[in-house]
Structure 1
Amino acid sequence: MPRPSEPILSPDKIAQAALELIDSIGEFTIGAVARRLSVRPSSLYNHVGGREEIISLVRDSLIPETIPPFRELPWEQGLSDGIRLYRAILSDHPAVVPLLATVPLASAASARMYEEFAATMHNAGFPDEQILDAITAIDNFALGSALDMAAPPTLWTSPHWQARMRAVTEAAPRGRERADQSFEFGLRVLIDGLRARLPQQ
Structure 2
Amino acid sequence: MNDAPKSGVATARPKKRGKPTKSDERSLNREAILEAAVALIDEIGLDAFSVRALAQRLEVYPAAIYWWLPTRNDVLAGVVSHALQNVQPPPETTDWKEWIADLMRRYRSVVQQHPKVAPLITSQLVSNAGVDLKLVERLLSVLKEAGFEGAKLLAAYDVVLAAKIGFVSMEFAMPPQEESDWADRLKAMTDNIDAVEYPNLSALRDAMLNRHFILRWQNGAEVPLDESFEAHVYTTIEGLRMLLTR
TM-score by length of 1: 0.77
Rounded Cα–Cα distance in structure 2 between residues aligned with 1:101 and 1:66: 17
Q: Check whether the contact 1:76–1:191 (CA below 8 A) recurs between aligned residues.
A: yes
Are 1:170 and 2:206 an aligned pair? yes
Hey, what does 2:151 align to over in structure 1?
129
Q: 1:189 to 1:66 in 2, by over 3 A?
A: closer
Rounded Cα–Cα distance in structure 2 between residues aligned with 1:13 and 1:143: 27
Bigger radius of gyration: 2
Q: Which structure 1 segments of 5+ residues have no match?
A: none
Q: Check whether the contact 2:76–2:120 (CA below 8 A) recurs between aligned residues.
A: yes
Rounded Cα–Cα distance in structure 1 between residues aligned with 2:88 and 2:238: 28
Give the drift of 1:19: 0.7
Rounded Cα–Cα distance in structure 2 between residues aligned with 1:182 and 1:69: 28
Q: Check whether the contact 1:31–1:41 (CA below 8 A) recurs between aligned residues.
A: yes
More displaced 10-residue stretch of structure 1: 49-58 or 170-179: 170-179
Hey, what does 2:69 align to over in structure 1?
48
**How many residues of Structure 1 are paired with residues of Structure 2 in the alignment?**
194
Counterpart residue identity of residue 53, structure 1: D
Counterpart residue identity of residue 187, structure 2: S
Answer 1 or 2: higher relative contact order, Cα 8 Å, separation at least 6. 1
Give the drift of 1:149: 5.2
Q: Check whether the contact 2:81–2:130 (CA below 8 A) recurs between aligned residues.
A: yes
Q: Which structure 2 segments of 5+ residues have no match?
A: 1-21, 176-182, 212-219
Are 1:119 and 2:141 an aligned pair? yes
Give the drift of 1:112: 2.9
Q: 2:45 aligns with which of 3, 26, 30?
A: 26
> CA offsets per residue over residues 65-123 of structure 1, 9 Å max, x none?
974127621x2222112211221122200111211223344668x33333332211111
Hey, what does 1:58 align to over in structure 2?
79
Hey, what does 1:84 align to over in structure 2?
105
Rounded Cα–Cα distance in structure 1 between residues aligned with 2:24 and 2:65: 19
Are 1:160 and 2:209 an aligned pair? no
Q: 1:94 aligns with which of 115, 118, 124?
A: 115
Rounded Cα–Cα distance in structure 2 between residues aligned with 1:59 and 1:141: 18
> CA offsets per residue over residues 42-70 of structure 1, 9 Å max, x none?
22111112222222322232322974127
Hey, what does 1:68 align to over in structure 2?
90
Q: 1:10 aligns with which of 6, 9, 29?
A: 29
Rounded Cα–Cα distance in structure 1 between residues aligned with 2:152 and 2:129: 21
User: What is the root-mean-square deviation in Å for CA atoms of aligned residues?
Assistant: 3.2
> CA offsets per residue over residues 136-182 of structure 1, 9 Å max, x none?
43333333443415778x7xx63323342242343359477760111
Q: 1:187 to 1:123 in 2, by over 3 A?
A: same
* Aligned residue runs from structure 1 range 180-199, under 5 A: 180-199=226-245
Give the drift of 1:18: 1.2
